[in-house]
Chains A and B, each alone.
Chain A
């Protein structure tokens, strides 16, 4: 495996602190943590499209259920003062509910890999047209997906992860969002077995802690 989380973590910490110092946010004393944030888009019915915006409209969505699950785990697309994170992994999850005769499409082997991801932080584009091919099991440069299974409904084929080779810092109070451009038309999404698409962002982070550290 190419991933060495312990070694990678120190790089993430250093860049996180350095970027925040440059912005005037001294965060050395805050609580270190690992953060996973996500947003889900329905991606079905009238909500289909070839361009999906994640995190830009999360306000009020945490109580919204999509496929029976909370649509997001954040309340705003910017972190509170004293909080922030480093984007290290980006994942997509096909939440298609397996009802006959359909089966979920395979994110890690289909032309879903030709989808282009753009990530914006504070009006700066920090990822530009990154093809999700780099997270598919056969063409990933830093693959952390499990080996694909032939089982149609298996979770590891619903899932696609890209582990970035650089650390991207989301400072506190700066807006962020992502855009995913799909290569296929919306009408093919339902028939192709792609239900609500959830986007995960994972990495090292800081939580606000006014007095001490654990």
Chain B
């Protein structure tokens, strides 16, 4: 099944029959949270995102507007450098989560859409080993491509939790969770 068909199918079952006429697009949403201490912590992304202004998030609500949806095909996770101010172009975004480059931490993701858990204890660290079809370990270190798209329909709340289940070598810094894939935008008349 094509991704577009899955978006349409999910929305039609929810009664959103106009979605096939919406604007197809490439969509990516992100939210960030500060790991305040160098130890185990569970971060909740997208919930309460209205309180995190740009550039800490690029959405202002944890549910899409009417006509908008996203089929998540890949998930990325990265961290800003510890002293990043987000006002200087010299601030870097890193793939390293830990103080030791040879040590990797277990980072468990749970994704919830409309009170249902659609991703369960998913180790985001998997991508850092460069495992998978045709993926270059030197690139895309923090990207996991899903085996099946997960559709977030419009008007349904969603949020994600990320648990860093490891020891004191986790750095206290701001972490970014990025959900990307094909989506739809509200288009009242026509499509390009």
Query: Which A residues have a C-beta under 8 Å from some C-beta of B?
Result: 1-2, 19, 22-23, 105-106, 109-114, 116, 121-122, 124-131, 133-134, 136-141, 143, 145, 147, 162, 164-166, 168-171, 174, 181, 183-185, 188-189, 191-194
CB <8 Å contact, B55 and A145: no
**Residue in B30, B143, B190 whose beta carbon sits within 8 Å of that of A131 in the complex:** B30
CB <8 Å contact, A139 and B89: no
Known: A126-B185, A141-B181. 14 other contacts (CB 8 A): A109-B92, A110-B91, A124-B23, A124-B187, A134-B178, A138-B95, A138-B140, A138-B141, A138-B143, A139-B143, A141-B180, A145-B139, A165-B73, A192-B88
Q: Taking CB as reference atom, which chain B residue is nearest A146?
A: B139
CB <8 Å contact, B89 and A194: yes
CB <8 Å contact, B26 and A111: no
CB distance from A149 to the nearest CB of B (A): 11
CB distance from A55 to the nearest CB of B (A): 15
Task: For the complex, give the distance between the alpha carbons of A174 and B25 in Å.
Answer: 18
Task: For the complex, give the distance between the alpha carbons of A124 and B140 in Å.
Answer: 31
Q: Taking CB as reference atom, which chain A residue is nearest B4?
A: A166
CB <8 Å contact, A141 and B87: no
Whether B173 is near chain A, meaning CB under 8 Å from some CB there, is no
Task: For the complex, give the distance between the alpha carbons of A110 and B133 in Å.
Answer: 27
**Residue in A112, A137, A181 whose beta carbon sits within 8 Å of that of B140 in the complex:** A137
Q: Which of B10-18, B76-84, B100-108 forms part of the interface with chain A?
A: B76-84
Q: State how many residues of chain B have any CB contact under 8 Å with chain A.
A: 49
**Residue in B27, B86, B90, B176 whose beta carbon sits within 8 Å of that of A130 in the complex:** B27
Which of A109, A126, A139, A191 has the most chain B CB atoms inside 10 A of its CB?
Answer: A139
Contacts of B90 in A (CB 8 A): 105, 110, 192-193
Main secondary structure of the interface of A (DSSP, over half): mixed
> Given A19-B192, A130-B27, A141-B181, does the pair A193, B89 have CB atoms closer than 8 Å?
yes
Q: Taking CB as reference atom, which chain B residue is nearest A111?
A: B91
Query: Which B residues have a C-beta under 8 Å from some C-beta of A?
Result: 23-30, 54-55, 58-59, 68, 73-74, 76-78, 80, 84, 86-95, 134, 136, 138-143, 145, 176, 178, 180-182, 185, 187, 190-192
A to B CB contacts below 8 Å, 22 in the list = A106-B92, A125-B185, A128-B27, A128-B185, A130-B26, A133-B76, A133-B93, A133-B176, A138-B76, A138-B140, A138-B142, A139-B140, A140-B143, A143-B139, A147-B138, A168-B192, A170-B192, A183-B86, A183-B87, A184-B88, A188-B89, A192-B89
**Residue in B54, B87, B134, B185 whose beta carbon sits within 8 Å of that of A2 in the complex:** B134
